[in-house]
Structure 1
């Protein structure tokens, strides 16, 4: 590896250091929920090492805990992770000239945190080796958090272990709230999805009602969520 690539890789590692602490509480919560769902310690850590998607892992473990079928778990996590197609495209287009094997490796490391840090980096720092350095932080922090969660589950009091059940809801609330103030259309869409899921759960399994309502309301939301208004709001909020 040339000195330039080493420097870029180290720059990427340094840029990812501030986000490492954010992985710990989520990773620990995931590991505890996974073990409550019947995952072995090895399976719990293996999922983090091969999936690298906090919200999807918590959703999958939570659905297994609630008795959802395998098909529902797979489809729900697929829908939740569709955003990774867009994020990966935005990141990988910076590496058009890189070998395919390295682009595939980089695409595996595209998570919400790595995407956010990389997108805010200076243009000259948006190189393949910068991203691989950033990805190193994200990957090992997430796997370490799962390992820590496995050991924590034997040390934490039962009351605290039981409270991890709200972790998934807390994550989605944290994602939603900053976006809801951008426009009334998004608020209506969220409320419509919640109402639709509640009604459907009376006729089909809750896991499938969530999936169907998410897809159906996302399609309906195209007609009344004003993208131009959202962009204008973002521009107005920008410093």
Structure 2
């Protein structure tokens, strides 16, 4: 168990280094919207979901309502329902407490790494997930808090284009999920609907969730059609 936790912790380091960079950028910008550094670190440790934190901070900065920001972040985190469901076999046999800890430590990066490694070896399981998750949550919390601490003494960074760090991070994560030609139609559906819904005035967080669900439906339909034709 300890060896697999160590294996997970070491394997996630390259992804953790990338997360630290955009975590630091997030902390910088969060501080300049009025968040104290300690609250940014606390949010990272308790929420541990970079994309929803970014959306929540953006919503808070624009609307100045805590409830709206929290709801927007929660809407974007709906994807974790599918992520947690995919871990049912891996988490089987753990106590409820251990399952909750493992789920809290699960993020996009260590989930993707765990599932990828498990496809190669069934020995990869909860220990690997927890080991990699411990590294990710520590790196994310420290990098965002550090960025926020530095952000309190720096000038307005938006005018230097630092906000694009988030866009670049999401592009990098999306590139890792690209599977070639089978992804073209679902991604086109998702991107097209997201752009259309935002253009029509739907809040960005809800547009992302709705378009993602439509993309998943398109992917399911493609699989069904291909399965029936074989």
Q: Which runs of 5+ in 2 are unaligned?
A: none
Aligned to 1:204: none
CA displacement 1:98-138 (0-9 Å, x = unmatched): 11111110000110111011111143442322222111111
Q: Does 1:137 align with 2:135?
A: yes
Moved more, 65-74 or 28-37: 65-74
Q: Which runs of 5+ in 1 are unaligned?
A: 201-207, 234-239
On the 8 A contact 2:76/2:205 being kept in 1, the answer is no
Alignment of 1:70-81 (within 5 A): 70-81=66-77
Aligned to 1:117: 113
Aligned residue among 204, 209, 217 for 1:210: 204
Supply the RMSD in Å over aligned alpha carbons: 3.1
Equivalenced residues, count: 221
Q: 2-side partners of 1:198 and 1:188: how far apart?
A: 15
RCO (CA 8 Å, sep 6+): is it higher in 1 or 2?
A: 2
On the 8 A contact 1:92/1:106 being kept in 2, the answer is no
Aligned to 2:194: 193
Q: 2-side partners of 1:90 and 1:139: how far apart?
A: 20
The alignment partner of 1:39 has SS state of coil
Aligned to 1:11: 7
Q: 1-side partners of 2:225 and 2:112: how far apart?
A: 21
Alignment of 1:1-239 (within 5 A): 5-121=1-117, 122-153=120-151, 158-159=156-157, 162-176=160-174, 178=178, 182-200=183-201, 209-214=203-208, 217=211, 225-227=218-220, 229=222
Normalised by the length of structure 1, the TM-score is 0.77
Moved more, 173-182 or 65-74: 173-182
